[in-house]
A and B are shown apart, each in its own frame.
Chain A
Amino acid sequence: MRTASVFYALAGLFALCVPLLGIYPVFMMKLLCFAMFACAYNLLLGFSGMLSFGHAAFFGSAAYASAWLATARGWGTVPAMLTGVAVSAFLGLVVGVIAIRRRGIYFAMITLALAQLIYFVCLEAPFTGGENGLQGVPRGSLFGVLQLKSDVVMYYLVLGAFLAEFAVIRRVVQSPFGQVLKAVRDNELRAVSLGYDINRYRLVAFVLSAALAGLAGSLKALVLGFATLSDVQQANSGEVILMTLLGGTGTFFGPVIGAAIVVTLQEYLSDIVGGWVTVIIGAVFIACVLAFRRGIVGELAALRPRRSSTSHDGGT
């Protein structure tokens, strides 16, 4: 565990100092939002063993809801954000109730199809701005005290939200509830025979993951000032899978690293190679699946000499 603590300390120090290091804060905020999204997704894929192919629907719907409330309704930042989270949690409940009726591959296809439904609603509903999305979302202020227009203040808010979400996920996974989720993931029949109502556990995990993905989406809408179709479309669902897979499914910090890599690739590589970014992301996807299934953190953990009590979920 020592290496993990040192690593977390260094990562925390780096995160706190970002505004001093001259790194573009908007980029770091975007990165943190997607890291939150990937961590929320990992709660589902990594710790509950459900591959959702439609998580962009929750990320995007919360982004749209918060953006609409903040612009058209003039709501404050915090209520708009929390309502966005509530919207995605509710959609998570509806999609979850339908999707958990099937397992594995079917679950993936059903979430994909229902997310496409939500995508079309965002495209065609009268208040979502169609192809343009919602632009010019004001950041507002935190409880009327802290003006979020400043990138530095906003950065620390996003960082705080990220740390809170990270802690919540860690707490959930290590709680008895999380242990049951992992038991269902590893051996569903055994969990059933032990008397657990597994569908209820799966549904709660799904709703929780959707809500946390929504938090990431709401924040992203505030940070960048817009909510568009790219938040809610299938490609975004694919990218969050890639982030989680690349960093390491079922590890706590893996999705953060995966998100950092994918967002950086998109931000900087697209200047160099233009539209080839999609092809490169596809190729990374294939490489991950064929050669690299444990992801970066997972492979690193596997390199380490085994501890006496080997834990599948690793310390990092």
Chain B
Amino acid sequence: MTEIFGIPVAVILGQLTLGLVNGSFYAMLSLGLAVIFGLMGVVNFAHGAFYALGAFAALLGLQWLGVNYWAALVLSPLAVGLLGILVERLFLRQLYKLDPLYGLLMTFGLALVIEGSLHQFFGASGRSYPVPAALGGVINLGFMILPIYRAWVIVVSIAVCFTTWFVIERTRLGATLRAATENAPLLQAFGVNVPLLVVATYGGGVALAALAGVLSAPVILVTSQMGSSLVIIVFAVVVIGGMGSILGAIVSGLALGVVEGFTKVIYPEASNIVVFVIMALVLILRPAGLFGKA
């Protein structure tokens, strides 16, 4: 068996795909966070809680109603997105005129409510979601064995991320969205319904988090706390990528997942903190983030 630095290549490649899977989730979450922040100026602390809700919606849909994985991929983000719309209408809307820090604090409280409720209803122990039959099994690539589901997660999330990027950067809808980010009152004066745009963006960003939750359900244990530490990593990813940058969020999400995977091979003790260390270094060298403008 081939080895690099005394570590079998297959192990490195295995950790690399696992890192890419994690990176896919980072990318999807930080993308939603970046879009929401760009338009609304709200750092959505509840993003991790919505991610957990997405996974729980899929799990409970399967257990209670027999909703299969494929339907959950559509229905769960839809349901969570609607909840997000409700949150925007009821709470966030009142905070736009204030310091953005209030949005952060409000969504922090919301995350506590959502995660606390999930904990109370479904307990602390993790639940597993079965890998759908069509995506079970592995492919033998010769140099490594690749579980099909992991490949699926990576492909789907890259497709979703770049579709979102395309919509925002290359279509008319995206142009309107960017215009609203630049100058909302002016856009409204042109007759665009900005409040509708805002609520749709929040719903969409939150639905993206829920989609990541459904995708992750078969590869991790579904718990009420699954998003609470993830959201902090995603914050660091967004700081590294540069807050306003869509592409920055996607690229740095994937890249940091891979870096984390490699760290697990080389120096496992540091794998939990490597993203934060990189964030500190980036802030010292390039305070605006890798893709951000100063």
Q: Report A's interface with B, CB cutoff 8 A.
A: 51, 53, 98-99, 101-102, 104-106, 108-110, 112-114, 116-117, 120-121, 123-124, 234, 238, 241, 245, 274-279, 281-286, 288-290, 293
Contacts and interface: CB of A to CB of B under 8 A. Distances in A.
Contact of B112 (A106, A112, A282): A282
B273 A98 contact: no
B8 interface: no
A124 B283 CA distance: 25
A293 B275 CA distance: 34
Contacts of A101: 283-284, 287
B269 interface: yes
B79 interface: no
Interface string B266-280: 000100110111011
Interface in B41-71: 43
Contacts of A106: 239, 243
Contacts of B91: 286, 290
Nearest to B105: A289
Given A285-B105, A285-B109, A117 B273 contact: yes
Nearest to B277: A117
Given A109-B238, A114-B276, A293-B102, A238 B120 contact: no
A241 B108 CA distance: 11
B94 interface: yes
B155 interface: no
A53 B280 CA distance: 16
B101 A282 contact: no
A289 B94 CA distance: 10
Interface of B: 37, 43, 91, 94-95, 98-102, 104-106, 108-117, 119-120, 228-229, 232-233, 235-236, 238-239, 243, 269, 272-273, 275-277, 279-280, 283-284, 287
The 3 closest A-B pairs by CB, nearest first: A285-B109, A282-B112, A278-B116
18 contacts: A98-B284, A104-B99, A108-B43, A108-B101, A109-B43, A113-B235, A114-B280, A120-B272, A278-B116, A279-B112, A279-B116, A282-B116, A285-B105, A286-B91, A288-B105, A288-B109, A290-B106, A293-B102
A79 B117 CA distance: 43
Contacts of A290: 91, 94-95, 106
Contacts of B272: 120, 123-124
Looking at chain A's contact residues, the main secondary structure is helix
A275 B119 contact: yes
B112 A281 contact: yes
A146 B228 CA distance: 44
Contact of B279 (A53, A110, A245, A286): A110
Given A106-B239, A289-B95, A282 B229 contact: no
A293 B112 CA distance: 19
A279 B100 contact: no
Contact of B283 (A102, A277, A288): A102
Contacts of B98: 293
B290 to A, nearest CB: 14
Given A98-B283, A116-B232, 10 more contacts: A51-B104, A102-B283, A102-B287, A109-B43, A110-B279, A113-B235, A116-B229, A276-B116, A277-B116, A278-B112
B109 A51 contact: no
A117 B229 CA distance: 11
Nearest to A273: B120
A234 B112 CA distance: 11
Contact of B101 (A51, A120, A274): A51
Contacts of A112: 232, 235
B105 A98 contact: no
B124 to A, nearest CB: 9
A124 B269 contact: yes
B64 to A, nearest CB: 22
A105 B100 contact: yes
A113 B276 contact: yes
B280 A275 contact: no
A286 B98 CA distance: 15
B287 A108 contact: no
A275 B37 CA distance: 32
B21 to A, nearest CB: 21
Contact of B117 (A114, A116, A123, A279): A279
A104 B284 CA distance: 17
A282 B235 contact: no
A283 B102 contact: no
Nearest to B49: A282
A285 B101 contact: no
B173 to A, nearest CB: 26
Contacts of B283: 98-99, 101-102, 110
A285 B112 contact: yes
Contacts of B94: 290
